[in-house]
Structure 1
Amino acid sequence: MQKNKPFTTSVIRAGICFLGFSLAYTSAFAEDGENVENANVAVKSPWKFGGAIRGAYQYVNYNKDRKGELEFDTLRGEIGYDDGSIIGSGQLRYYHYSKRQTGGDSGNMVLLNHLWAGYRFSDKSELIAGLNSHPFGLYPYAGNNFFESMAYYAGFEDTQSLGIKYSRKDGAFDTQLAFYPSDGGHGSTSDTKSNFLEDDSARYSFHLVNEHQEKNTGIARVTYSMEHSNDAKSEFGLSYLHGEVASTINQSGHRDAVAAHYAGVFGKAAVRLMAMQYDYDLNGSPTTLAVGGFGFSNKLATEGEIYVANVSYNIGGTIGPFSGFTVYNEYSSLIKHESSFTDSSQNVTGLSFGAGKVWIYADYMLGKNSTYMSPVFYNGMGAGKATDNNGQRLNVSVGYYF
């Protein structure tokens, strides 16, 4: 595999379009601002700039090299624009992997999280185009923990692709429709010796990689919200995804996924539930496919069901400079339809809190054939292993958000 490739052409074009359009509109906005009758009235800028720098402390019981020390993890920069009608957002990320994290050589990765521009209509509906998030399932996130749910590693949570998305509200109904001709491409990687990082997997969200690629994906998501009282409400939803799969090894075909989901808030408590099923119908009927993210690829069973059950509670109060305490327990599982495969599951018990611009996640994780929580890494969500597949992980993420 060739190393150090630039971002794909599709991502570059999206970035150029977004930047050029934003600059052109800003110029027009500035010219109009010169004609404001009352020059003393302050005009709030539609631009927002920010970012974050994060480090992580990790203890992994099945890896002797991952037992302690706080290390640098992520640097990100972001830009946003919203003048009431024209909207846009972009985020670029840099990751560093130390030798302790990889068990081998150190490496670096640069990638786009998202980059889109759009328009908000008078009825508050929105149409956006660019690298944006799939409106599927529990949206935008299934839970609270730093590592997200098993749906994320299968490519069905917090997933970004290149295309268009339309969102609107009609009373209690919220509808989102999206079409993605491309998965959005990948970023670039570098490492010192062994080329353990994969360019095609240099992505924020998990997609098909290597011999397979996602094409022409359509998604529909509809939810219905209802209030039970002043501080209690529920959201019931259905999501459907259909898309093409291109292949370099004569395994092309299509994929389908359907999900039923529920999100409820009851005062300080919250519940999130999801049941989904997915199926890759491909030539040759392979039982696993490669999915990649953050520079590494893993096997995924081509047919399965994913279940998510999350509960959280906002404790409130303060301890010194810290506040916003939320405790949670978040469980997810992958039930594979191939009879010879072993199922996957993960459970995360955690606490999040902050102080000013600093935010902390402290998660205790138990995993079985789970990508980042058990010793079966490459094939955990594929065939898996019936024995020696359980893991424990303590992860404390400390971020400064500006």
Structure 2
Amino acid sequence: MPFPASLRLRTTSIALFCSIAAPAMAVQVTDNLDLGGAIRARWDVDPDRDIQKFGLDTVFLSAKYNSDSWIGEAQYRFYGRSYPYQYTKNYGDIRFAKFAWVGYKFNPDQQVQVGLNTVPFGLQPYFGSTFYETLGNVIGLEDVQQIGTKYIQQSGDWNIQAGYYLRPAWQGKGTSKGVTYSSVVSEADSYVVDGSNNQERNTVVLRVAKALDLGPWKSEVGISGLTSSIENKDTNKDGRRNAVAVHYMGKNGPWGVQLQAARQQMSPRNPGSEEVVTLGGYDGTYNVASRGNLYVADLSYDVGGKYLFDQISGIKLYANYSAFDKSASGFKTSERMILGTSFSVSKLWVATEWLFGKNDPYIGGSSYTQSLGAGGLDQWENQLYVNVGYYF
């Protein structure tokens, strides 16, 4: 079965705290238009499964437009052939868009975005400092792009973001029924036991955050809410998806902290079990418990200075823990812990992460299709992951 890679490039965003960012080296075509992209390699090591793979990870092309009034962003990604997509013949056999939106700035503090843009839920732009992302990503709450309209307003210390999304991203090309950048409600592939066929529509989301000083900590506290309809294509009945989150992020010199607690509750109208909903992305589909709590904690430290003849810079050390505590009786909690560092080496950007997972579909060979549902191996597994990218 496919074993897609839950790996994401960290691009810059409106959030200023605690995020990691690859070096920006886009080609400036005009005063307003930048074209760029990246070529990334990855190294996976898991001695318990006799895995030691090095190969091409991702190629993506991007465009950004920014003027006094008009803004926009587009990015398209290519995968295939190399691990974990060795089941495909050619590079590019798996491909999909991350962004495709245009926007208008009414003034420096107000803008609207239309198209495939990021859903403003919880910690932004990501639920922590990691490259691999948290369990929030694979349950469909972190780093999610959908098609719709988002309004952003900065009023003093307050940041308000509201969005209405008609549907998830368009399907790209691949071997699965889940071929999107984001993890979204999907039709299950045939290999997913107790899989469902739902479509998410009419997502409404609101995020309100306030910047404040807590002693020496430059902080942000916020609350987010999301609701949508999920139509089951077998029963032709509509259920709902609701989620709420509270978050804190702070910066004190080189130290960064991010904390979040979220509740996700889906009420599908499946013909079978309603305790799980199938999600998909990155050329795969899998079951997720329909009800549960997500907890995230992230601690980071920025190492100043340049090293090795000024070739190494921008060093960040971080530790991240996330857990998905499911409500259904007998469902096993999924946990993920990441210890890592990111840094620049000349024109390359490197992330090295030691991954620990329990009932995690992407770490240590636990059940890909059921770990986020009823559970997988229910024991801690670990592996090493390194990503090296050249950004242009």
Normalised by the length of structure 1, the TM-score is: 0.83
1:101 paired with 2:75, answer no
| Structure 1 counterpart SS, 2:107 | coil
Q: Conserved in 2, the CA contact under 8 Å of 1:342 and 1:386? A: no
Aligned to 1:392: 382
Shift of 1:55: 0.4
Q: Conserved in 2, the CA contact under 8 Å of 1:165 and 1:177? A: yes
1:346 paired with 2:323, answer no
Question: Structure 1, residues 79-115: CA drift from partner, whole Å, max 9, x if none?
Answer: 01111110011001101242x5257554621100110
Cα 1:302/1:97, change in 2 over 3 Å: farther
| Structure 2 counterpart SS, 1:152 | helix
Q: Of 219, 222, 227, which residue of structure 2 is paired with 1:237?
A: 222
Cα 1:361/1:293, change in 2 over 3 Å: same
One-letter code of the match for 1:115? A
Q: Conserved in 2, the CA contact under 8 Å of 1:300 and 1:381? A: yes
Aligned structure 1 segments of 4 or more residues deviating by more than 4 angstroms: 102-107
Aligned to 1:6: none
Shift of 1:232: 3.4
Aligned to 1:78: 62
Q: Of 157, 173, 188, which residue of structure 2 is paired with 1:172?
A: 157
Aligned to 1:382: 373
CA distance in 2 between counterparts of 1:371 and 1:393 reads: 13
1:334 paired with 2:320, answer no
Q: Conserved in 1, the CA contact under 8 Å of 2:260 and 2:296? A: yes
Aligned to 1:90: 74
Aligned to 2:211: 225
CA distance in 2 between counterparts of 1:329 and 1:311 reads: 5
Q: Conserved in 2, the CA contact under 8 Å of 1:61 and 1:392? A: no
CA distance in 1 between counterparts of 2:108 and 2:77 reads: 34
What number of residue pairs does the alignment pair up? 347
Shift of 1:48: 0.6
CA distance in 1 between counterparts of 2:79 and 2:85 reads: 13
CA distance in 1 between counterparts of 2:377 and 2:42 reads: 30
Aligned to 2:122: 137
CA distance in 2 between counterparts of 1:286 and 1:374 reads: 28
Aligned to 1:50: 36
Shift of 1:355: 2.6
Q: 1:273-352 counterparts in 2 under 5 A?
A: 273-284=259-270, 286-320=274-308, 321-352=311-342
% identity of equivalent residues:
31
Shift of 1:213: 1.1
Aligned to 2:178: 201
More helix by share: 1
Extract unaligned runs of 5+ from structure 2.
1-28, 188-196
Shift of 1:60: 2.1
CA distance in 2 between counterparts of 1:244 and 1:259 reads: 19
Q: Conserved in 1, the CA contact under 8 Å of 2:109 and 2:155? A: no
Greater C-alpha radius of gyration? 1
Normalised by the length of structure 2, the TM-score is: 0.85
Q: Conserved in 1, the CA contact under 8 Å of 2:33 and 2:64? A: yes
CA distance in 2 between counterparts of 1:228 and 1:384 reads: 39
CA distance in 2 between counterparts of 1:61 and 1:334 reads: 26
CA distance in 2 between counterparts of 1:114 and 1:162 reads: 9
One-letter code of the match for 2:179? A
Aligned to 1:154: 139
